[in-house]
Structure 1
Amino acid sequence: MTDPVPRALPRPSPAQRWLALVLVSVAMFGNYYVYDAFGPVVDLLREQEGFTYDQISMVFSAYSVAAVVVLLIGGYVIDRWGTKRSIALFAAICLAAAALMASTARFETMLAGRFLLGIGAEPLIVAATAALAKWFKGKELSFAFGINLSIARLGSASADWSTSFASGLYANWQDPLWLATGVATVGLTAAMLYWMVEARLEGRVDLGEAAATDRLELKGMYAFSASYWYIVGLCVVFYSTVFPFRAFAIDYFQQAHGLARETAGMLSSLLPVAAIIVTPLFGLWVDRVGRRSLFMAIGSLAMLPLFLLVTYAPPGPDIPMPFTDGTRVPLTLLVVMLMLGGVFSLIPAVMWPAVAYIVRESRLGSAYSMMTLCQQVGVALVPLVVGRFNTAFGAGPEHPAGYAPGMWFYTALAALGLLFSYLLWRAESGPAAHGLEYPSGEKPA
């Protein structure tokens, strides 16, 4: 007598998959909202609580310092606890960080809250990626990842839009951060519901195994090609330019250009909105035409003059901003932010997938982890430099020219990015090319 063959479990139904996607994405929305909720209250902390630009920049940088620590630790907690517990745990840490920052204007507390946010937010992104890989493996995985990222970036845009839809809260610095805490509570609720959904379906459907979390392996880094390190260099200077500029953007538009908070918030939101809409389109286009290193160079070249234009070019006439109820902004600022939004969409759409063409599959985890680690180091350091410039040169509404040294520093970083992209294009146009310039990523024989 033979034992009966166990019946294979069915894969999750479409409704179950999309429910999991929505819950995980709402948890990510809360994470992104809290990250970007600090920018709109920078001027209030300076005016009402006496924060300096040096202190503000250290609060921003604390997140990236924590991210570096988490990347060095690796995915141990996620591997040990599983995705459903990990998502809930890290969402709870994000909520605690948001509440800590909203509780008091004491500098040390703000610093600790931002550091705690980095401890929770970065692993939450990894855990969410691993969870979606289980539910959607072989079923619209790339599309699911795209939807997840779009919903998450709506959190960033919503934090900027809060200057309009929650303008009444901006009489003080604290209420907008309590709003962010409320959004983080919604994210934690979604994470707990996801835990319940996955636990309920375990043993009923085949969820397979979660994708292995990327671990940073320092050994063997020397084996990566020059093209890989050129991409890493571009990644570091690109994100170290865009993220700190965006962090200070609302305050900068208010102080240096005299915009109202609501207008400055809408202008700043063009970056994440552009990324939501245009990044997938750029990705599809480049897959069809190739020329990856060339497009990275074009994006770097387009970014080079933007920070000087926003500093020195005449503002031009006020014109209605697209997709608003008639909000008017200076023409030069609108053009610069639209161009920066295009660059923010183009370079990431080409840069991250390009690594998969030049690093063998068995090393991709280490390659992406090293790239992210270097990126976070840059994002941690640059705000400190810009904050020091703003303080040293007396930047403020009485002295808008004090912001110029920081803008020159961003321009120098953009020039360095152009150099890295040129070196990559030259390497990928020679005999040792990896096929980045061809539509399929495969060099013809």
Structure 2
Amino acid sequence: MPSTPNLSTPNLSAPTQSALPEPSPLYRWLILLFVSLAMFGNYYVYDSMWPVLDLMRSDLDLSYQQIGLLSSVYNAAALLVLLAGGYAIDRWGTKKAITVFAFICLFAAVLTVITPKYEVILAGRFMLGIGAEPLIVAAVTVLSKWFKGKELSFAFGINLSISRLGSASADWSTSFASPLYTNWQDPLWLASAVAGISVTAAILYWIMERRAEGRYQVGTSSAAEKVDFKSLYKFSASYWYIVALCVVFYATVFPFRTFAIDYFQQAHGISREAAGLLSSLLPVAAIILTPLFGIWVDRVGRRSLFMAAGALVMLPLFLAVTYLPPGPEINLIIPFIGSAMVPLTLFVVIFLLGAVFSLIPAVMWPSVAYIVEEKRLGTAFAIMTFCQQIGWMVVPPIVGLLNDINSASPDNTAGYAPGMWFYTGLAATGLYFAFKLWRSETGPNAHGLEHITTKTGMNSNV
């Protein structure tokens, strides 16, 4: 811990922050690389469990509901961390925080795989939520400090792309690490090794941050916002419609991803490698399309209309994979990863879901800044994230229970249909809130979501 400076006698030999030179672009981009690699490992570990669900069910005799709880316990931990705010990051500083939380993620990954006892695996997923969520907050804090007033938006985009590559790589492991998929543990040991890379990247970031102290002029980040429940009544109806859409949207897409690879294998009879490539279309689409949709919407406006359109497109997709004929098989190719034959219907549905997964978040999160005063944005985003985690936590055990009650299996593929109807019900609820938002933003109390564009130069808080 650095010593406290003597306030009565200034140290004339120590340069002030403003007198220091700025770091070189290379230095800043290396900081971005190491922080993003730490995030890559975090995302990989979280998604590494979904390709082995069938092996965990056969080797450990787990029910679908138990599998759902392995997803939900992560969100329960995330809610506890969110309530704590950014206290640990503010107290420790970003270099110590990122390293500590990366080590927690590594410990969680090892705890998850080291024993077949379900309670220990559950504890591992809980620990992952404790480490992963504040690691994300710390990474955002680092980027704000090093790129504020420079290439901040681009840096955030690069960070998100590298992070989501972690999710895609976990799906792709069914191809490039296919020999490991003879039991449930070996793929998760691979995830632990990736978590080790994350720790290494965090340590390298620590070294570079420590080396920069006293040498370069680096920005400071404001203290993390905590949830202020007293200000809930101050937010407009449009804000709450966006929050509601956020909750049901993420409570639909992320739980679907939890069971997707297993569902493609069991209900549609495709190989694990094909199922992994198909599932990876969701994060890959987000990597490519999210920034493009963001640029497009900034130019044309119509934000609430785009959110409603995305919700409408999502509505029939889960019933389509359940009831439509599979169609001819096509060759799905992921360059440098692999290829597999998949049914055309599944490809089209997952491609459209990936497009929606890119469109709605690209419009939804920035829209909050247009309808909430700047001084309350921290609270607005914190409440939105808090509600999102609750919805995401509740759904996986329900879908798992529906699968168990209806004896879903390769011999009874109709048993998966109730879960798909549940996703459809959530999508319909999301469409309702998106429609209410559109009606609100085309009425007399609109905040400008339909009209503000980069060409108008209008103020964001209308």
Amino acid at match of 2:303: R
Can you list the C-alpha shifts for 1:397-439, whole angstroms capped at 9, x where unaligned?
1111000000000000000000000000000001111110114
Secondary structure at 2:65's aligned position in 1? helix
Which moved further from structure 2: 322-331 or 253-262?
Answer: 322-331
Cα distance in 2 for residues equivalent to 1:336 and 1:84? 42
Which moved further from structure 2: 211-220 or 50-59?
Answer: 211-220
Corresponding residue to 2:298 among 256, 273, 287 = 287
Q: 1:130 is matched with which residue?
A: 141
Q: 2:191 is matched with which residue?
A: 180
Structure 2 counterparts to residues 54-203 of structure 1, below 5 A: 54-203=65-214
Once the two structures are TM-superposed, the CA of residue 48 in structure 1 deviates from its matched residue by 1.1
Is the 1:393–1:402 Cα contact (8 Å) retained in structure 2?
A: yes
Corresponding residue to 1:410 among 423, 428, 444 = 423
Once the two structures are TM-superposed, the CA of residue 215 in structure 1 deviates from its matched residue by 1.6
Once the two structures are TM-superposed, the CA of residue 322 in structure 1 deviates from its matched residue by 4.1
Is the 1:54–1:391 Cα contact (8 Å) retained in structure 2?
A: yes
Q: 2:446 is matched with which residue?
A: 433
Cα distance in 2 for residues equivalent to 1:186 and 1:243? 25
Corresponding residue to 2:224 among 213, 227, 230 = 213
Is the 2:274–2:339 Cα contact (8 Å) retained in structure 1?
A: no
Q: TM-score, normalised by structure 2?
A: 0.94
Corresponding residue to 1:364 among 374, 377, 382 = 377
Is the 1:134–1:211 Cα contact (8 Å) retained in structure 2?
A: no
**2:413 equivalent to 1:400:** yes
Can you list the C-alpha shifts for 1:307-346, whole angstroms capped at 9, x where unaligned?
0000000000001114355421000000000000000000
Structure 2 counterparts to residues 236-315 of structure 1, below 5 A: 236-315=247-326
Cα distance in 2 for residues equivalent to 1:323 and 1:106? 36
Once the two structures are TM-superposed, the CA of residue 443 in structure 1 deviates from its matched residue by 8.2
Corresponding residue to 1:12 among 23, 30, 41 = 23
Amino acid at match of 1:296: M
TM-align CA RMSD: 1.6
**2:379 equivalent to 1:382:** no
Q: 2:434 is matched with which residue?
A: 421
Corresponding residue to 1:27 among 27, 33, 38 = 38
Cα distance in 1 for residues equivalent to 2:224 and 2:199? 22
Q: TM-score, normalised by structure 1?
A: 0.98
Structure 1 residue runs of 4+, over 3 Å off? 2-7, 322-326, 441-445
Corresponding residue to 2:359 among 346, 350, 360 = 346
Is the 1:286–1:439 Cα contact (8 Å) retained in structure 2?
A: no
Can you list the C-alpha shifts for 1:8-47, whole angstroms capped at 9, x where unaligned?
1112110110010000000000000000001001000101
Q: Identity across aligned pairs (percent)?
A: 65
Can you list the C-alpha shifts for 1:249-268, whole angstroms capped at 9, x where unaligned?
00000000001000000000
Cα distance in 1 for residues equivalent to 2:453 and 2:264? 42
Is the 1:216–1:370 Cα contact (8 Å) retained in structure 2?
A: yes
Is the 2:227–2:383 Cα contact (8 Å) retained in structure 1?
A: yes
